[in-house]
Copies of this chain bind each other. A is one copy, B any other.
Amino acid sequence: MHGLMQNRPLLVSSLLTHAQRFHARREIVSLLVDGRTHRSSWGEIGARAQRLANAMAALGVVDSTRVGTLAWNTHRHLELYFAVPGMGAVLHTVNPRLHLDQIAYIIDHAGDEVLCFDLSFSDLVQALAPRCPKVKTWVALCDESQTPQIPGVAVRAYESLLDAAAPHFDWPVLDEQQASSLCYTSGTTGNPKGVLYSHRSTVLHCFAACAADGLGMAARDSVLLVVPLFHVNAWGVPFAGAMCGAKLVLPGPNLSGEAIYRLMRDERCNFSLGVPTVWLGLFDHIERHRESLDLSQIRLERVVIGGSAAPRALIEKFDALFGAFAIHAWGMTETGPLGTIGRLLAQHEGLSGAARHDVQCKAGRAIYGVDIEIFGPDGKPLPHDGVAFGELRARGPWVAAGYFGLDASAVDADGWFTTGDVATVDADGYIQITDRAKDVIKSGGEWISSIELENIAVGHPAVQEAAVIGVAHRRWQERPLLLVHLKPGARIDREALLAWFEGKVASWCRPDDVVIVDSLPHTATGKLQKRTLREQYQGYRLPTDPD
């Protein structure tokens, strides 16, 4: 027997309509590519999104058409966030920081028919256009007078399209399973894969952003959205902002420490979100201009650090300088991205700074909507004791089931999506990422965390950087090999380095050998390229390997 409640679908358009009806005056502030500050509101975003939907329809956008963006955080990009899914089409946010080949691949694979770009990307568009034949219309996010001349590309000006469009658009009542937006993961191996969100997943994800134990987003918040709109739905904040009526401050292309600081101060932002790099830039700016800055003008109360592990120093600095609470969150493109969120429990009340920071350093806590579990080498769930670590899997209504244009399911028979991270879970549901699954060393049915060994190694005063990889071992299948790059002028031998691990880790986890190298390979974003190292040391013969 079914319940007798109203069967109203969860649609992106319902978020905007709510904002327009009940938070119409709440501000949206953008710094544009041309340097101007633009002040708008949820009411205006709602009105312009209707014009935009009519303009898109005139360009031939219909149900499920993919509309791509190469754009910074501005009010226009925000309008696209609502208008495109609202009309039943799919917003495809492309990361302009990827390599040209990847961008061309992604736009072509997604089948984008309209591509909207900020003026900063005119050169990129010129290079892309010949390689993206499916794109019928290129739209520059600017006024008519600013329309760039790009040889061989007919460019339409966004504002002219809006001016020509009718003001009223009736958002269709869609199936909530309808696709709403598309983001590609920039995996380190193979081609990028597209995660195709639905209206349902998007709205449900908003609830987690607005939950008191989630990001706690509320109407009173003035949110500095540093995380780009081209990074996994900007962590859901544009949609959650509409849901709760928060003020959004969109910084455009300038994410320097100085720009962030100024916006945070001038727009009285109490909440912000970004990756560690951005926050390091902010604190660098503050340190270099400490005497001229009045930090009491900053109203920051909480900040989300995501995208990669938050260094403890960042968490401490937000606390010390602003009295702001750093929320450490874990997630990925395939989880919407909100997966675990690091809020405190009753038992943490009254904790001293350092003890509280210990909790905040964990990678967040399980939230309703994203069920998580860790699995050992035997495929069985592991205890939630904060010690056992295993492959982290996730499932829930805003976790991916597959990838765009790929037939294979992304989930196993029990519905779990394998994240590729290795983690511990404690009794309260806080997780700690201990490794990437592909980097963990599988030794005789047990797992050894490469990251743990690397952290111990860099604790040695002679070591500049360290990498630990698994190499083949006839008895144990794999054993850890430590590669170290010493500090300039430092000297240490193999035995002394191996002895350094004694008492710091179980004896069977200690590296079997050490190689001192002149440098270690890195990716463009500064991460260790362990795949290259594994290839390089594929035939390496460990001294512990039996003949």
Interface residues of A (CB under 8 A from B): 1-8, 10, 14-15, 17-18, 21-25, 63-64, 90, 175, 177-180, 195-201, 204, 206-207, 210-214, 216-222, 243-245, 247, 343-346, 348-349, 365-366, 368, 371, 384, 395-404, 410-411, 415, 417, 427-429
Q: Given A64-B1, A178-B3, A395-B6, are A217 and B222 neighbors across the interface (CB < 8 Å)?
A: no
Contact A1 B178 (CB under 8 A): yes
| Cα(A404)–Cα(B196), bound, Å | 38
Q: Can you pick out 6 interface pairs between chain A and chain B where the beta carbons lie within 8 Å of each other?
A: A4-B198, A5-B197, A5-B198, A6-B398, A21-B384, A23-B428
For A371, the chain B residues whose CB sits under 8 A away are 14, 17-18, 21
> CB < 8 Å: which of B4, B179, B429 contacts A3?
B179
Contact A402 B198 (CB under 8 A): no
Closest to A22 in B: B429
Q: Given A244-B368, A345-B220, are A400 and B211 neighbors across the interface (CB < 8 Å)?
A: no
Q: Given A210-B211, A247-B346, are A2 and B427 neighbors across the interface (CB < 8 Å)?
A: no
> CB < 8 Å: which of B1, B18, B214, B345 contacts A368?
B18
Contact B3 A343 (CB under 8 A): no
Contact B1 A179 (CB under 8 A): yes
For A415, the chain B residues whose CB sits under 8 A away are 6, 8
| Cα(A403)–Cα(B400), bound, Å | 37
Contact A218 B213 (CB under 8 A): yes
Known: A5-B200, A212-B212. 12 other contacts (CB 8 A): A2-B179, A3-B197, A4-B196, A4-B410, A5-B398, A6-B398, A14-B371, A211-B211, A211-B244, A212-B244, A220-B346, A220-B348
| Cα(A371)–Cα(B197), bound, Å | 24
> CB < 8 Å: which of B24, B207, B346, B429 contacts A427?
B24
Contact A3 B198 (CB under 8 A): yes
Contact A5 B400 (CB under 8 A): yes
Counting chain B CB atoms within 10 Å of each CB, which of A90, A178, A204 scores highest?
Answer: A204
> CB < 8 Å: which of B2, B179, B343 contacts A219?
B343
Contact A21 B343 (CB under 8 A): no
Counting chain B CB atoms within 10 Å of each CB, which of A1, A178, A384 scores highest?
Answer: A1
Contact A22 B179 (CB under 8 A): no
Counting chain B CB atoms within 10 Å of each CB, which of A5, A343, A396 scores highest?
Answer: A5
For A206, the chain B residues whose CB sits under 8 A away are 368
| Cα(A230)–Cα(B151), bound, Å | 71
Contact A21 B429 (CB under 8 A): yes
Counting chain B CB atoms within 10 Å of each CB, which of A222, A346, A398 scores highest?
Answer: A346
Give chain B nearest CB distance to A416 CB in angstroms: 10
> CB < 8 Å: which of B3, B222, B384 contacts A346?
B222
| Cα(A63)–Cα(B245), bound, Å | 41
> CB < 8 Å: which of B7, B219, B403 contacts A4?
B403
Contact A401 B4 (CB under 8 A): yes
| Cα(A243)–Cα(B212), bound, Å | 11
Give chain B nearest CB distance to A428 CB in angstroms: 7
Closest to A346 in B: B220
Contact B207 A211 (CB under 8 A): yes
For A417, the chain B residues whose CB sits under 8 A away are 6
| Cα(A417)–Cα(B6), bound, Å | 9
For A222, the chain B residues whose CB sits under 8 A away are 346
| Cα(A197)–Cα(B207), bound, Å | 20
Contact B175 A2 (CB under 8 A): yes
For A4, the chain B residues whose CB sits under 8 A away are 179, 195-196, 198, 400-404, 410
Closest to A211 in B: B210
